[in-house]
């Protein structure tokens, strides 16, 4: 058994003076800011892991007088709750990160898209935002932020659906390309970043890219805020160094009887006990937006899978057929197998359907239903059938 402990970090929640960072970035050339973030190898913390510096440079290279910075605070992935804590504890750092992004790409307006379930945070955020705007005035920086609320649609966490929602429409994802850095909010070049990513950029501006890179692995630099829940005696929010194995994670957070860990929420992967050692939590292994759910041996993985499929069936926007019909069929399919109306071979058909959804769905929702489906069915087949 490994004795290595998971390294706890305290960067995201560190109380930082944003004035210092704002003063620094105002003196920097926009592209030097992109370069510093690029040098840090920071990858997006919402789950997809796109290099942040590259995203900013693409948006910065667009020649349009109107550009936008959008903070994706539509944290809806089951098992993810770290952005709520970040917004609650250090809202000024989130706004500061948006100002850094604004300076880097040449945007004057930022939007925070906050999920409706977190509406209770609004008074606190408005207070912090007023202070932030005062500081911006001191620096003669005309960057302004607006806060928009979601209304209970998971799909609006998908970047182009989020733009549609801010624009006052149904939150239906757009075709890509064009990507947001070329045509995003209101058809303008836009950088859209996760709450945690923006805070990381503030710390990179404060301490430098080299400091950020001291933690993590070649493919997954830095630390990450994890949302830990399920069968664990210490559920909660933890900032940890990237690059640990699931085994190391379970040593720290498990209840001694962990049989599986769902990494990355309902759209992520299920890692069974036999693969704990070999699976790295990070972009080289299983990526995650922060959701880590532990299941012990008392849990039925059929119930877990059924819960996820029920979730996707409700949250699919219904725009494209593979996702809309696929989710429904997967749900009805596992129910039929469980009732014995279909034999176990039928599960193979369903796995094929999930693969088809991955190839043919319009956005990340339909494309990732197969992650949980495939990994749970593959590793816990007997629990699905009997």
Partner 1 sequence: METIIENELVRELANKHGRTRESLIPILQDMVVHNRFLSKQDMVDVARELDMSAADVFGTATFYSFLDTEPRGKYIIRICKTISCAMKGKNDILATIQEILKLNLGETSPDKKFSLLEANCIGWCHKAPAMLINDTPYTELTPEKVTEILREYIKK
CA distance 328 to 305: 13
Shortest separation between residue 321's beta carbon and partner 1, angstroms:
18
What b/e string do you get for 114-146 counting C-beta neighbours within 10 Å, with b at 16 or more? bbeebeebeeebeebbeebeebbeeeebebebe
Helix (H) / strand (E) containing 227: strand 223-230
Q: How far is CA 159 from CA 103, 184, 186, 362, in A?
A: 21, 9, 13, 13
Helix, strand, or coil here: 348? helix
By CB under 8 A, residue 153 contacts partner 1: yes
Residue 229 binding partner 1, by CB under 8 A = yes
Nearer to partner 1, 32 or 167 (CB): 167
Show the tokens assigned to 259.
Answer: 């049989």
In this complex, which beta carbon is closest to partner 1, that of residue 2 or of residue 151? 151
Q: Minimum CB separation from partner 1 for residue 349, in Å?
A: 25
| DSSP bridge pairs for 229 | 293
Contact call for residue 116 and partner 1 (CB under 8 A) = yes
126 is a site residue for partner 1 (CB under 8 A): no
Q: What residues contact residue 106 under an 8 Å CB cut-off, 6+ apart?
A: 30, 60, 67
Find the part of the chain contacting partner 1 (CB under 8 A) among 1-9, 34-42, 116-124, 270-278: 116-124
- Smallest gap from residue 211 Cβ to partner 1 (A): 29
d(CA 82, CA 224): 10
| Token code pair at residue 120 | 């209770």
Least distance CB 134 / partner 1 (angstroms): 23
Going residue by residue from 304 to 333, which x/- string records binding to partner 1, judged by CB under 8 A?
x--xx--x--xx-x----------------
Stretch that binds partner 1, among 61-69, 234-242, 282-290, 354-362 (CB under 8 A): 234-242
Structure tokens at 299: 């849990």
Least gap, CB of 376 to partner 1 (angstroms): 12
Binding site for partner 1 (CB under 8 A): 75-81, 84, 115-120, 148-154, 165-172, 227-231, 235-237, 266, 293, 299, 303-304, 307-308, 311, 314-315, 317
């Amino acid at each position: 058994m490994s004795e290595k402990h998971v390294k706890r970090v305290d960067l995201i929640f560190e109380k930082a003076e944003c004035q210092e960072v704002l003063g620094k970035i105002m003196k920097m050339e926009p592209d030097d800011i992109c370069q510093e973030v690029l040098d840090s190898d920071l990858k997006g913390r919402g789950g997809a892991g796109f290099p942040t510096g590259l995203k900013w440079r693409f948006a910065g290279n667009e020649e349009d007088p109107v550009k936008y910075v959008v903070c994706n605070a539509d944290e809806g992935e089951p098992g993810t709750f770290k952005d709520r804590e970040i917004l609650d504890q250090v809202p000024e750092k989130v706004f500061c990160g948006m100002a850094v992004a604004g300076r880097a790409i040449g945007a004057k307006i930022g939007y925070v898209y906050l999920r409706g379930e977190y509406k209770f945070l609004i008074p606190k955020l408005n207070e912090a935002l007023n202070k932030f705007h005062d500081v911006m005035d001191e620096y003669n920086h005309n960057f302004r932020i607006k806060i928009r609320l979601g209304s209970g649609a998971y799909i609006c966490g998908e970047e182009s659906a989020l733009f549609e929602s801010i624009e006052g429409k149904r939150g239906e994802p757009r075709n890509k390309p064009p990507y947001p850095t070329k045509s995003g909010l209101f058809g303008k070049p836009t950088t859209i970043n996760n709450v945690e990513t923006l805070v990381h950029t503030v710390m990179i501006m404060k301490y430098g890219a080299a400091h950020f890179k001291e933690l993590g692995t070649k493919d997954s630099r830095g630390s990450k805020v994890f949302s830990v829940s399920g069968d664990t005696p210490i559920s909660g929010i933890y900032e940890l160094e990237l690059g640990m194995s699931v085994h190391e994670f379970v040593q720290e957070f498990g209840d001694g009887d962990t049989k599986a860990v769902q990494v990355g929420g309902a759209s992520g992967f299920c890692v069974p006990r036999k693969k704990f050692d070999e699976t790295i939590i990070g972009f080289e292994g299983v990526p995650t937006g922060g959701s880590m759910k532990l299941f012990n041996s008392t849990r039925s993985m059929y119930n877990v899978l059924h819960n996820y499929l029920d979730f996707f069936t409700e949250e699919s926007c219904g725009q494209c057929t593979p996702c809309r019909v696929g989710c429904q069929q997967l749900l009805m399919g596992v129910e039929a197998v469980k009732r014995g109306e279909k034999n176990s071979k039928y599960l193979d058909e369903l796995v094929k359907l999930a693969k088809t959804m991955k190839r043919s769905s319009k956005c990340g929702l339909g494309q990732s239903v197969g992650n949980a489906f495939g990994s749970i069915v593959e590793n816990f087949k007997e629990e699905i059938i009997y």
